[in-house]
Amino acid sequence: MPAVQPIPMKYRVPEIAFPRGWYCVAESAEVAPDQLLPVSYLDEQMVVYRTREGDAQVADAYCPHLGAHLASHDGCIKDGEITCPFHKWRFDGESGRVAAIPYSDILPPANVALTLHPTREIDGMIMRWYDPHGRQPDHEPRPVPALHEDSWVLYGLKRWTTTAPFRDILENLFDTAHIIELHNGHSMPEVRNVKRQPYGLSVDYVMNPEAEETQIHGMRCEFTGVTLLTQHFAGEGFATLNIHSFTPLDDERFLQKSRLYLKDMGSPELTDRVGRPFLDRFCYEVEQDFKVLDFKKHLKRPRLCAGDGPIMKFREYAEQFYT
């Protein structure tokens, strides 16, 4: 029997569109001083680097002079200035403006500059702002206070490249029925206290700790737009903190990165013994989801029934980032 293949996204979603928001384009540890990191997301080529002051910055990868890719050949950054590999024009990494041209004393006007994107660096992630109409940010990415208030151990960084419709990945958290039907859970979590926040949305889930092997009392989800998610699980004698980013590579694929933290339990052995089964189960369920989501179609008018969870409530929230 032939394997199922995902059909092109243009047949599975109402329109091809990247929602506005903050997208993770690099890990902080990947970007060292005097280093240009080429990345490809959102159907764009970009470079990520640090300014002279050490601040992270994201720019379009192409020189405004004649279009050379700044990270090709011997393109480089040194002392906060980016040198194009083609004609060796130098650009100030902070402002993007032309700093010097080796064969001309006359510099072009200030609007001849690198295209810089609003950039933030929080919790080990470098994020750029995207708006299809070029508008400035209307909300900020939310740092995770708990990550800095308690002692956590980074247990793993997982990456999944998926062909799921981008609109559906976070909607999955409001589809409580699939916890039983797809993941073979013994009880459905109850969605409570859905609250709008300046950065997005906070949602509390209540669970029955007696119903599962990993005794979870509850989960809180914090959404920054529809591109970042924090999940805080409170368990019997342990806690986990998962920070997820979702960044389209192109029209067909996006990258999910999951940073999986365990609250430090005092010894590596105990932390490992208690935390590993839960995180292993979490990763298994993510991969179960993708076995369905990678092939599904986004239905604008799904035929829902009682017990499906507040899917349309989430869609109402998410739609603002596509408008």
For residue 183, what pLDDT is reported? Answer: 86
Contact in structure between 201 and 317 (CB atoms under 8 Å): yes
Class for domain 145-319, per CATH? alpha beta
**Contacts with 166 (C-beta within 8 Å, 6 or more apart), sequence order:** 13, 18, 19, 246, 248, 254
What does pTM read for this prediction? 0.94
Q: How far apart are CA 122 and CA 145, in angstroms?
A: 11
Q: Residue 259: left if φ>0, alpha if ψ -120 to 50, beta else—which one?
A: beta
Torsion of CA 188, 318, 303, 11, to 10 degrees: -120
The CATH fold assigned to 16-130 is: Rieske Iron-sulfur Protein (2.102.10)
Could you list the mean pLDDT of each consecutive 10-residue stretch along the chain, which spans 323 residues? 88 95 97 97 98 98 98 98 98 98 96 97 97 95 88 90 96 90 81 91 81 71 96 84 97 96 86 79 93 96 91 95 90
Tell me the three state secondary structure of residue 279.
Answer: helix
Residue 3 makes CB contacts below 8 A (sequence gap 6+) with none
DSSP string, 32-46: -TT--EEEEETTEEE
Cβ atoms of 58 and 77 within 8 Å: the answer is no
Complete DSSP assignment for 305-316: -TTS-SHHHHHH
**C-alpha to C-alpha distance for 257 and 121, rounded to whole angstroms:** 16
Handedness of CA 252, 254, 321, 175 (dihedral sign): positive
For 195-222, the three-class secondary structure string (H helix, E strand, C coil) is EEECCEEEEEEECCCCCCCCCEEEEEEE
Q: What is the pLDDT of residue 212?
A: 56
Cβ proximity of 185 and 179 under 8 Å:
yes
Domain segments of the chain: what residues? Answer: 16-130, 145-319
d(CA 188, CA 1): 34
Do β-strands 116-117 and 216-224 pair in parallel, antiparallel, or remain unpaired?
unpaired
Looking up tokens 């920070």 gives 243
Q: What is the pLDDT of residue 210?
A: 60
Element (H, E) at 182: none
- Report whether 147 contacts 168 (CB < 8 A): no
Is the Cα dihedral 298, 199, 24, 132 positive or negative? positive
Locate 126 and state its tokens.
């470098």
Rounded-to-integer distance, Cα 39 and Cα 60, Å: 10
Query: Angle at Cα 37 formed by Cα 31 and Cα 43, nearest 5°?
Result: 125
Q: Which helix (H) or strand (E) holds 95?
A: none
Contacts (Cβ under 8 Å, ≥6 apart) of 279: 155, 156, 240, 260, 262
